[in-house]
Copies of this chain bind each other. A is one copy, B any other.
């Protein structure tokens, strides 16, 4: 092997083609919570935890649904690629975006070796003024879970996607699981795994951060906020406890929400601690 005297000299000679190379994609789970008007004028709108999926119109996995994603450019930062894809899909900038996990099973793409770095994005659906792209659709998320499996149902009113994930504890010292796809016929690639790990990350972060406010409009009632927690966590919360916990994070405004056949509610906003 030739002896180099300096880093510059070495780099000039360096032939990067000696290693076999691979491709990288960024895939994004875009979560939101959607409203659904009720027939009873007294009742509140029903909220649903939802995710944006795209129908593939090309091989591989033609006609299957998948997460918005795309190849990372050779000179492009991974997170920039994620932002680019997110903007293409939603026309929104400045969205909450967090790296989740990098999936690298050699067989996850039948074409060639493709690594996927997944991101989670949270949006407030009210900001989506324009129509989303025609091959994209919001799906409601419903999950149930037992000791060794997770069952997920996604549905958009026309179509229902069901899949089943097996989970086994990796080691007894932590809460980490090894997930594997047991049943899935409508989602492309290993995206069921990505979705499950995104849901799990979001549930966790709800409990110990203010992440929920990325999915809320500027003004909201505490009832709405509580509902968002409830649909994501998949369980009912007790009102007084919820209000105690959230109290320090929100600020009462002088606006009220009226119109329902019941006591009107004060509108709150997220408290900005810098002010």
Residue among B10, B59, B74 making CB contact with A60, cutoff 8 Å: B10
Residues of B contacting A59 in the complex (Cβ-Cβ under 8 angstroms): 4, 7, 10-11
Contact of A115 among B4, B78, B175 (CB under 8 A): B78
Task: Please state if B60 and A77 are interface contacts (CB–CB under 8 Å).
Answer: no
- Tell whether A258 is near chain B: CB-to-CB under 8 Å: no
> In whole angstroms, what is the CA distance A67 to B274 when docked?
38
A24 at interface, CB cutoff 8 A: yes
B173 with A209: CB separation less than 8 A:
yes
A214 within 8 A of B: yes
Residues in B with CB closer than 8 Å to A212 are 173
- Tell me if A247 counts as interface (CB < 8 A to partner B): no
**Could you list some 30 contacts between A and B, CB below 8 A?**
A4-B62, A7-B59, A7-B62, A7-B110, A10-B59, A11-B60, A14-B111, A16-B111, A16-B112, A19-B23, A20-B74, A21-B21, A22-B22, A22-B74, A24-B24, A24-B104, A72-B104, A77-B104, A78-B104, A96-B173, A99-B101, A99-B102, A102-B117, A172-B272, A172-B274, A173-B209, A173-B211, A173-B213, A174-B205, A174-B209
- Near B by CB (< 8 A), chain A positions 221-275 give 270, 272-274
Candidates B23, B105, B175; contact of A21 at CB < 8 Å: B23
The bracket for how many chain A residues form the interface is 35 or more
With contacts A11-B60, A102-B117, A210-B172 known, is A22 near B20, CB below 8 A?
A: no
Interface mask (A49-67 → B, CB under 8 Å = 1, otherwise 0):
0000000000111100000
Copies of this chain in the oligomer: 2
Contacts of A274 in B (CB 8 A): 172
User: In A147-203, which residues have CB < 8 Å from any B CB?
Assistant: 171-176
Q: Does the CB pair A273–B172 fall under 8 Å? A: yes
Question: Once the chains bind, are B101 and A77 in contact (CB under 8 Å)?
Answer: no
Q: Please give 13 more A-B residue pairs, beta carbons under 8 A apart, in addition to A11-B59, A24-B104.
A: A10-B59, A11-B60, A21-B21, A74-B113, A78-B104, A78-B115, A173-B213, A173-B214, A173-B270, A174-B205, A174-B209, A174-B210, A175-B209
Q: Which of A24-45 contact B (CB under 8 A)?
A: 24
User: Contacts of A7 on B, CB cut-off 8 Å?
Assistant: 59-62, 110
